[in-house]
Amino acid sequence: CPASPAAPLAFTMLQLTRVYKGNSVFRGNASLNGQLSHVLERNNVTQVIPLESPDAWARRQEEVFTYLENFRQLVMLFNKERPTNFTHHLCCHLGCRLYPNGTAQSFYEVTLNRTAFLSFHVPSATWEQRWPRELPVAAFAQQQLMKYPRTTQDLQYFLNTTCVSLLQAQSARTGPVSGRSRTPLVLGLVLGSLGLLGMALGIFLCTGGSC
């Protein structure tokens, strides 16, 4: 449902990955101010609202496909080293909110098998453990993600600047979302995939063994 005038504007994205015996299945979506804007199903990502030109959107789709394929290949490689016969469920929830007083809040949360796993602390561009108990997998995944400073910096910029700027522009605009916007919203999906890529290293190298 569209957000009410008193509620904060929001751009949120949800990316779900199911991994079983080395096979990865992706799905997810994104919404802008309560309106569905993007849909991710397996390898296909589509924009429901025409926020980018056809040429720009074609390039974004190719970028998302490349990162998802990299993640899939990495998981297959890890599974050959340490096979698992049970299913992993990874969920990435990220986005930003703009409040009526002009303040903004950004977030990136990750759950593993429906339990809080990691979160991204936007001000310091660092990953933090959220697992409720000591778990070598969480610590190792955090260490691996922090080895990619370009990824953490890009993610911080997307959440603090790109995402918030999008909402500020939407707040100043009247009427429905304009098709003239060229903000690369799908960048968040790409960054979400990069985050999953790093987490895969931690999860699958630690599964069944010590880190």
Type of residue numbered 95: G
Output the pLDDT for position 187: 63
The pTM of this model reads 0.79
In the chain, which residues have pLDDT < 50? 1, 174-183
pLDDT given for residue 197 in this prediction? 66
Alpha-carbon span 126 to 143, nearest angstrom: 10
Place of tokens 């561009």: 125
Tokens of 208: 């069944």
Kindly state whether residue 202 falls inside one of the protein's structural domains: no
Can you list the alpha helix ranges (DSSP code H) found in the chain?
A: 54-81, 136-145, 149-157, 163-172, 187-206
- For residue 153, what is the domain's CATH number? 3.30.500.10
Residue in the block written with tokens 């991204």: 120
Q: Which of 199, 207, 176 is nearest to 81 (CA)?
A: 207
**Cα three-residue angle 123-129-135, rounded to 5 degrees:** 170
The neighbour count for residue 6, using CB atoms within 10 Å, is 7
Structural domain tally of the chain?
A: 1
**Computed over its alpha carbons, how large is the radius of gyration of the chain?**
17
Report how far residue 20's alpha carbon sits from residue 31's, in angstroms, rounded to the nearest whole number. 28
Enclosing domain of residue 56? 9-173
Q: For position 10, what pLDDT does the model report?
A: 93
Residue 188 lies in a domain: no
Residue 34 included in any domain: yes
Distance CA 211, CA 141 (A): 10
Say what the pLDDT of residue 177 is. 45
Tell me whether residue 179 is in a domain.
no
